[in-house]
C-alpha cells in the first residue's frame, strides 16, 4: 500500500521545528530515520497531514562528553552509535546492543531518538537507556526538561512525551573503571526483533558484583527492570546458588505477556536462560 497524501517540511532549526509542532498539533509527525514511521504510513496505520523532517537539525546529531555525562543526540544513527569511540569507552553497553538491531541498511538510517520515541517493547535501545540509568532530554513549547528513562516508557508504544515535544538527546552517566556490562537477546533470526532480550549494567566489587541493573525487553509493554534478580546477584561470588536464586526471582520481577512469538511461560523461561548467559559472561569478563 502507499501512504495517504501528506505535506512535507524540513526545518533547519530546533526552534522552527517546535513552532511547526505547536502550530500543527496532532496533524503533524516528526520524521527521523523513517524506519518505523514510513512503514506505519504505508500500512495506513497512521495518516498525518504533515511530516516534519528533522534530519536537518545539526544540533541533534552530536555525541558529546560534558558535565559528567555522555550526551547522544537524537539523530545519532544506530550504526554510528555502534562505531563511535566515545560510546565504546563511556557506554559500551550501547555498542554491544547495536549489532542486534535489525540489519545494516536499517541501522544506517534509524536513529536513537526515533527508537526511544517509538518505544517498541522489543527494541534494544530503550532497555539500554534503562539499564544505564539514562535521562532523556525533551524540548517543547515550555522549554527543555529531562526525564529519567525509568519514567519515560509508560506503556505499549507509550512515552512521557507531551504534545509538541521532541526527544533531543539521551544522557547517560560515564562508565567508571569498575563498570561492566552484558547484552544478549533471543530472536528467531539474526536481525529480527527480539523474543526476549537483556541489557545489563553493573559495577565490579571485591569478590563479585557491587551493583547490577537488569533491563529486560520483549517481556511486556515496555522495557522492565528486574530489581530482585539484580539484588540476588550482587555482594558475593557469581556461583550457581546465587544464579538460581536470581533466576527464581524473575518470576516476581517479570510478568511477561504472550505474543506472536511465545507464550508467557516460555518467555519467562527464555528470560532465565538469558540471565544465566549474560551474567555468566559478565562474570567471566570481569573475574567476578
Ligand atoms: C525490518 C525492520 C526491522 C527492525 N528491527 C528492529 C530491531 O530489531 N530492533 C529495534 O530496536 N528496531 C528495529 N527496527 C526499527 C528501527 O530501529 C527504527 O529505526 C526505530 O524504531 C525508529 O527510528 P527512526 O529514526 O527510524 O524513527 P522514525 O521511523 O522516523 O520515527 C518513529 C516514531 O518516532 C517519532 N520520532 C522520531 N524521532 C523523534 C524525536 N527525536 N522526538 C520525538 N519523536 C520522534 C516519529 O514521529 C515516529 O512516530 C526495525 C525496522 C525495520 C523496518
Residues 4-24 have pLDDT tens digits of 999 999 999 999 999 999 999
Strand blocks (E) in the chain: 7-9, 28-31, 50-53, 63-66, 69-73, 135-140, 143-148, 153-155, 158-159, 166-173, 179-186, 196-205, 208-217, 224-225
Q: In this structure, what C-alpha cell is assigned to residue 234?
A: 550482587
State the Cα angle at 150 between 198 and 219, rounded to 5°.
35
Contact 138, 146 (CB under 8 A): yes
CB of 243 closer than 6 angstroms to any ligand 1 atom: no
Tell me the mean pLDDT in the region 259-280: 94
Query: Which atom of ligand 1 is the closest one to the Cα of 113?
Result: 41
- pLDDT tier, 287 (very low <50, low <70, confident <90, very high otherwise): low
pLDDT in tens, 36-84: 999 999 999 989 999 999 999 999 999 999 999 999 999 999 999 999 9
Q: In a mutational test of the pocket of ligand 1, which residue from 25, 72, 114 has the highest number of ligand atoms less than 8 Å from its CB?
A: 114
CA of 76 from ligand 1 middle (Å) equals 12
Ligand 1 atom with minimal separation from the 77 CA: 25
SS3 call for 79: helix
25, 35, 60, 80: which to mutate for ligand 1, most atoms within 8 A of CB? 35
Best of 36, 170, 199, 218 for a ligand 1 pocket test (most atoms within 8 Å of beta carbon): 36
Measured CA to CA, the distance from residue 268 to residue 219 in angstroms comes to 8
* Rg for the chain, CA atoms, rounded: 19
pLDDT tops 80 at residue 203 = yes
110: CA distance to ligand 1 center in Å? 6
Q: How far is the CA of 31 from the centre of ligand 1 (A)?
A: 9
Amino acid at each position: 500500500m502507499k501512504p495517504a497524501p501528506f505535506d512535507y517540511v524540513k526545518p533547519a532549526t530546533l526552534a522552527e521545528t517546535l513552532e511547526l509542532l505547536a502550530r500543527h498539533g496532532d496533524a503533524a509527525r516528526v520524521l527521523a530515520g523513517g524506519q518505523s514511521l514510513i512503514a506505519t504510513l504505508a500500512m495506513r496505520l497512521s495518516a498525518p497531514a504533515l511530516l516534519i523532517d528533522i534530519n536537518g537539525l545539526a544540533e541533534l546529531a552530536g555525541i558529546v562528553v560534558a558535565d559528567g555525562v555522555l550526551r547522544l543526540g537524537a539523530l545519532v544513527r544506530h550504526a554510528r552509535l555502534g562505531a563511535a569511540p566515545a560510546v565504546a569507552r563511556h557506554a559500551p553497553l550501547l555498542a554491544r546492543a547495536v549489532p542486534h538491531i535489525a540489519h545494516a541498511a536499517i541501522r544506517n538510517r534509524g536513529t536513537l531518538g526515533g527508537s526511544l520515541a517509538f518505544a517498541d517493547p522489543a527494541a534494544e535501545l530503550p532497555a539500554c537507556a534503562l539499564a544505564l540509568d539514562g535521562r532523556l532530554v525533551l524540548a517543547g513549547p515550555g522549554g527543555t526538561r529531562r526525564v529519567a528513562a525509568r519514567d519515560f516508557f509508560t506503556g505499549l508504544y507509550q512515552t512521557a512525551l507531551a504534545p509538541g515535544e521532541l526527544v533531543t538527546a539521551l544522557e547517560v552517566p560515564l562508565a567508571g573503571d569498575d563498570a561492566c556490562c552484558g547484552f544478549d537477546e533471543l530472536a528467531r533470526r539474526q536481525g529480527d526483533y527480539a523474543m526476549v532480550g537483556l541489557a545489563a549494567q553493573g559495577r565490579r566489587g571485591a569478590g563479585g558484583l557491587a551493583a547490577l541493573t537488569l533491563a529486560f525487553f520483549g517481556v511486556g509493554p515496555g522495557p522492565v527492570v528486574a530489581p530482585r534478580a539484580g539484588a540476588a546477584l550482587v555482594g558475593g561470588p557469581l556461583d550457581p546458588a546465587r544464579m538460581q536464586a536470581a533466576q527464581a526471582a524473575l518470576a516476581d520481577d517479570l510478568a511477561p505477556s504472550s505474543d506472536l512469538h511465545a507464550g508467557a511461560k516460555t518467555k519467562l523461561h527464555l528470560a532465565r536462560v538469558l540471565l544465566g548467559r549474560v551474567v555468566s559472561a559478565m562474570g567471566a569478563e570481569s573475574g567476578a
